[in-house]
Amino acid sequence: MNTQQQDLLGLRFMRLGMLALSAGLLVGVIGGFQFLFPEFLRELLFTKTRPLHVSLVVAWIFLAAIGGIYFYLPRQRKLKLASYRAVSWHYWIFVVTGLAIIASFLAGKFGGREYLEYPVALSIPIFLSWIIFGVNYFRTVRKEREPWPVYYWMWGTGIVFFFITYLEAYLWVIPYFRDNMVREIMVQWKAYGALTGSWNMLVYGTALYVATRIAGDDKPARSKLAFSLFFLGLFNLMFGWAHHTYLVPSLPWIRTFAYAVSMTELLILGKILWDWRASLESWQKNRYCSAYRFLYAADIWIFINLILALIISVPAWNLYTHGTHITVAHAMGSTIGINTMILLASVYYVLREELPQKVRDGCAGQVTLGFWLANISLGVFFLALIAAGVGKFMYDGPSFQEMMASIRPFLLLFAVSGIGLMVGLWIVLWHAYRLMGTILAADRPVDVKLGLPVGAD
């Protein structure tokens, strides 16, 4: 492998992530229709589709964020990675463990808690891969001569905290934790809140990186505002989880505290992106048209999600919204609207930089179509989930079935707009997947006789 190829290893993570997202979208749509028609694909029960969906889309978030870090450091920040072999190991551990997790879900072998429902043994390679990643990351950024921009801090913190909280999510394996139901739920949901917080660190770091590169100015990543975002995120990572656990019996001060600390983080990120947009010249917007648009969309979704998050963070209202589809609106609204849009901006930024001949100024028609289809569908999807949640807490009767029947129109709207979202994102992903493939192919050593890259098909 030559240096050139080594520097492109991150793109393999990104491409794998795109595959995971494409599959995860399909499984999500199947799950959405199973709500309406329980007989639909009975062989693939909802007990399988739900964890498959969540694992695949979360894998996308990780792969795209990790791929970006492995790519940007050596290729653009000129920091040679400490170990390229470690990157390959990381990649293959991800592939093999991922396939094993998918196989165990399909076979109906469950052994974990919600969201981590695969057999416990599979968490071991996952732990291992984060150690490999973390060591490589810190050994690499240590070589930076300038003071660290905020995204280095965010990435590093995301990695360390992911490791800690993932460990914590497995505390139930110890009888002390699982023998007390309330203790177990508290620990579990605290861990999940913090897990989300730690991947947000990876993603927000990516957002700031791409934004500063497009603007050609590193200042926003060294500003006080950016560092306050980092410290708030860190604080939320450590304490903001508690908005997940309002309803479990607990000390009231914990609730009050959680209420006080949640959500300020989003507000600052929204503000940074807002200022960044205002600072751009029109040629910059045009040059990085697709990446710019995805970041723009993320900014809008940040504010929309912030409003919902603030509402459901008021404990007195959380009492009603908790345990309804409003929670799902919050979860998917932010993982799609914010995380996915930011990571797609990162993907399209890479394409523009690496393929200056192929990807011109302005937005390609196909991407524009996919972009709008996905975002408009997401709007409908989000509203339909909220409406279903409101329907559930407004229903005042004893029958679960009757309640479900009353919100059926919203669930139908949810499932149908889910198709639009899936198709829109598929268009965007397919375009990017192919182009990224040409970057990787062009970099293979050329076979002199055929004049083709070795192994090109």
Partner 1 sequence: MPISPAADRGRQLYQEHNCVACHQFYGLGGYMGPDLTNVISNRGAAYARAFMAAGTQAMPNFNLRDEELDALVAYLEFVDKTGTYPPENFEVKWYGVVAQEDDPR
Q: Which positions lie near partner 1, rule CB under 8 A?
A: 34-35, 38-39, 42, 45-48, 50-51, 108, 110-114, 117, 178-182, 185, 188-189, 244, 246-252, 255-256, 259, 314-319, 322-325, 327-328, 400-401, 404
Binding mask 6-45 for ligand HEM (x = CB under 6 A): -------------------x--xx-xx-------------
Matching residue, tokens 């709008």: 372
Nearer to ligand HEC, 362 or 409 (CB): 409
For partner 1, give the closer residue by CB, 169 or 429.
169
Q: How far is the CB of 38 from ligand HEC (least distance, A)?
A: 7
Distance, in Å, from the CA atom of 119 to the CA atom of 290, rounded to the nearest integer, reads: 40
Closest CB 425 distance from ligand HEM, rounded Å: 6
Q: Is 335 in the site for ligand HEM (CB under 6 A)?
A: yes
Give least dist CB 157 to ligand HEM, A.
Answer: 21
Q: In Å, what is the CA distance from 452 to each residue of 11, 205, 281, 402, 440?
A: 21, 38, 40, 64, 13
Stretch 422-441 residues interacting with ligand HEM (CB under 6 A): 422
Query: According to the binding rule CB under 6 A, does residue 332 interact with ligand HEM?
Result: yes
Under the binding rule (CB under 6 A), the answer on residue 298 touching ligand HEM is no
Q: What residues are paired with 446 via a beta bridge? A: 453
Number of residues counted as binding ligand HEC (CB under 6 A): 5
Q: How many angstroms separate the CA atoms of 31 and 418, rounded?
A: 10
Give the three-state DSSP class for 447: strand
Residues 115, 52 contacting (CB under 8 angstroms) = no
Using CB under 6 A, which of 4, 47, 180, 279 touches ligand HEC?
47
Residue 400 contacts ligand HEC per CB under 6 A: yes
Closest CA relative to residue 313, chosen from 248, 271, 254, 258: 258
CA distance 9 to 14: 9
Of positions 46, 110, 163, 393, contacts ligand HEC by CB under 6 A: 46
Selected binder of ligand HEC within 249, 357, 401, 450 (CB under 6 A): 401
How far CA 14 is from CA of 18, 61, 218, 344, 368, in Å, comes to 6, 9, 24, 10, 21
Task: Specify the DSSP class assigned to residue 453.
Answer: E
Backbone angles phi, psi at 452, to 5 degrees: -115, 150
Contacts of 307 (CB under 8 A, 6+ apart): none
Contact (Cβ atoms closer than 8 angstroms) between residue 374 and residue 293: no
Rule CB under 6 A: say whether 340 interacts with ligand HEM. yes
Question: What is the smallest separation between the CB atom of 266 and ligand HEM, expressed in angstroms?
Answer: 16
Question: Which of residues 192 and 349 has its CB atom nearest to ligand HEM in the complex?
Answer: 192
Nearest to 207 by CA among 333, 90, 297: 297
Pair of tokens at residue 320? 């009603």
Q: Determine, following the binding rule CB under 6 A, whether residue 336 of this chain makes contact with ligand HEM.
A: yes
410 token code pair: 């919203």
Separation between Cα atoms, residue 181 and residue 188, nearest integer Å: 10
Is there a contact between 210 and 291 (Cβ–Cβ < 8 Å)?
Answer: yes
Q: What distance in Å separates the CA atoms of residue 386 and residue 447, rounded to the nearest whole number?
A: 56
Residue 377 Cβ, how far from partner 1 at the closest point, in Å? 21
Candidate segments 42-50, 109-117, 158-166, 331-339, binder of ligand HEC by CB under 6 A: 42-50
Choose between 93 and 171: whose C-beta lies nearer to partner 1: 171
**Which parts of this chain interact with ligand HEC (CB under 6 A)?**
45-47, 400-401
**Which parts of this chain interact with ligand HEM (CB under 6 A)?**
25, 28-29, 31-32, 50, 53-54, 57, 327-328, 331-332, 335-336, 340, 414-415, 418, 421-422
